[in-house]
Amino acid sequence: MKIVKGKKYSYRTVKDDSSWTAEILRRKTSTETVISKSQSGFSTESDAQAWGERELKSFLLSLNERNKRHSEQREKKAGGTSRTDPARASSTQQPKRGWEVKD
């Protein structure tokens, strides 16, 4: 079994009875990993590694594009205010009810 490490996503190759399997892995927690995608039936380990590298790149690209789309949708839904927008921050900077502000 060979594992290629990254921070969040990686891939590994596993020898089955007579074939190889490539798996795209995601670190869920520090001790738990989840298989996001897998393909079995490769005749050689190099074929499985090539598939794993190729699919990991395309998987990360599609994930990045999806995150950008979702971010744009969130900005549209929020009315264009971002977390660093001063207008949004001013409403959270008010003292809470029952608290005294001393100068």
Q: Which residue's entry shows tokens 């699919």?
A: 55
Prediction pTM value: 0.64
List of residues 6+ apart from 16 with CB closer than 8 A = 40
Residue 50, both tokens:
């090539």
> Which helix (H) or strand (E) covers residue 69, if one does?
helix 45-77
Grouping H, G, I as helix, E, B as strand and the rest as coil, residue 10 is: strand
pLDDT in tens, 27-57: 999 899 999 999 999 999 999 999 999 999 9
For residue 97, the model assigns a pLDDT of 64
For residue 22, the model assigns a pLDDT of 95
Indicate the residue type of 16.
D
